[in-house]
Chain A
């Protein structure tokens, strides 16, 4: 913002009257967003930062406690550690699986076969189901006694676990639930696949490359911007996972808090126990963490993401 303030006056005096009228109209047109940015974004973010140094249950006046909230979170709060572990574990397993399955399904959908559109629709459908409904469906599918999955495991002679009531199986269950919606990212990978020029594959065929070589040498590099984009979105999304945890594990996080996702914990502290200061501190820790991770992913991107346009520019 300071850069803007420095540049604005000088630029403004250099404008002709008609340019000034256009600029005024421009500010007027974007004013809804500016208002929203100030009222629903910048204001709340600053407020949240200030609140994180207070103790406040929304009635009465906030009480300044300095770094007390942060100190307690990092040194005395076992639930914070649990929530971080659960969320990181989930991210570590779910994100790679989402990328792998997303790409594989996109490859399967990229075949030139009759009726492929019907299959695409079927794979995409679970992604359309509202999260509350799909979570409920999975709670029922995973029912240890009457559920579909353990029935089918029974056919194979396997005694299925009790899924959402077993602390060891809560997280795998939620990962499975999320993977059911992988059609959403598969369709994005499919669009990426279809943007790869066919000549590349033809040239590779002429040089005698086999399918695997083509996939590793052409498909993956050409798809890397899409993978990158999906990974960044996926990371941010993972730390915001709320509904499946709330419905499947329960609002307190399930057996031994094995499904206590970070967002669920923020919700519990802020809105169930009404501790606005503590909740704000939790949210700020998450924000800083997400920004660091996103920055790292962006920094790493130059080593593995291939941009066609950049290549052209340097030529």
Chain B
């Protein structure tokens, strides 16, 4: 409010306008910084090889090579990568939905000796970097003959993820316990209470599980890199990185591939923006 004192001629409305204009200016400059690389990716994706290496660069490629996107599918089995990644995403979502809800329910609504200790143990596993388990897990899966299969990328999902269990458990804690009591009096079993009462009420938290799992699995690079050797089994991220290695100079096609790789998470983001931002504030509560 000191500004009002220094600039009395503006008046309150003038000050408001001044604030708005400066606010929008900052917002615009920042959005340019964030968006220009994305624009560069998209415009390169529409260029011919000559246009790609033009100096000075063409900002709006004319003519736009829309068939670059089709070419990506011809040059590398991108359709296959897409299907593979979607399969992994859905398998992991299924695994998480089953395991995370069961475990979260156990921690949130049932009493048993050692519950708090076990819960603390679970939380502390979040603090241990996954690198320590990477090598022995690899050895375990290779001794089981599961290298170059999807099992190493799917099986762990069916044992839950500590972070998601924590999220869902916090949500389930907020559901009134009277509901369970009433159902037990009516003779419902524990599983019926879980299935008929808690799960439907925990739907917003389950949406978060779906969204987080989707993004994690879609973007994962290290695990597919370690476990998959057969190009027919590659995920989008892994395929893209091999595309880079094989054809270093085809930047237009590489950018077209990158655009294709970001479309599914982007679509998900637009549909789930509310849950994501809400979920992030839940995540923020942890501190």
- A interface residue numbers (CB < 8 A to B): 1, 3-4, 7-8, 11-12, 15, 19, 22-30, 32-37, 39-41, 43-45, 47-48, 51, 58, 105, 108, 111, 113, 116, 119, 121-126, 128-134, 136-141, 143, 145-146, 148, 151, 180, 183, 187-188, 191-192, 194-195, 205, 210-211, 225-226, 228-230, 236, 239-240, 242-243, 246-247, 263, 266-267, 270-271, 276, 279-280, 283-284, 286-287, 290-291, 294
Contacts and interface: CB of A to CB of B under 8 A. Distances in A.
B280 A191 contact: yes
Contacts of B134: 266, 270, 283
A113 B20 CA distance: 7
B237 A133 contact: yes
A139 B162 CA distance: 34
B41 A140 contact: yes
A247 B44 CA distance: 19
Nearest to B110: A26
Nearest to A188: B284
Contact of B128 (A58, A145, A287): A287
Contact of B159 (A26, A40, A129, A138): A40
B254 A140 contact: yes
Contacts of A195: 281
Interface centre among B36, B125, B159 (most CB of A within 10 A): B159
B52 A146 contact: yes
B34 A122 contact: yes
Interface string B112-138: 111101100110010111111111111
Given A133-B41, A229-B286, 19 more contacts: A4-B118, A27-B106, A28-B106, A32-B102, A45-B128, A48-B135, A113-B23, A116-B27, A146-B57, A180-B34, A191-B280, A191-B284, A205-B1, A211-B2, A236-B129, A242-B221, A270-B134, A284-B132, A287-B129
A210 B103 CA distance: 50
Q: Is the interface of B mostly helix, strand, loop or mixed?
A: helix
B258 A240 contact: no
A255 B89 CA distance: 36
Interface stretch (B67-75, B201-209, B265-273): B265-273
Q: For B102, B138, B244, B262, which residue has the most chain A Cβ atoms within 10 angstroms?
A: B262
Contacts of A8: 113-114
Contact of A33 (B160, B240, B277): B160
A22 B110 contact: yes
B171 interface: no
Main secondary structure of the interface of A (DSSP, over half): helix
B222 interface: yes
Interface string B233-258: 00011101100100000010011011
6 contacts: A24-B112, A36-B159, A44-B137, A45-B136, A136-B240, A276-B139
A7 B159 contact: no
Given A43-B136, A113-B27, A26 B111 contact: yes
Which residue of A1, A15, A119, A286 has the most chain B CB atoms within 10 A of its CB atom?
A119
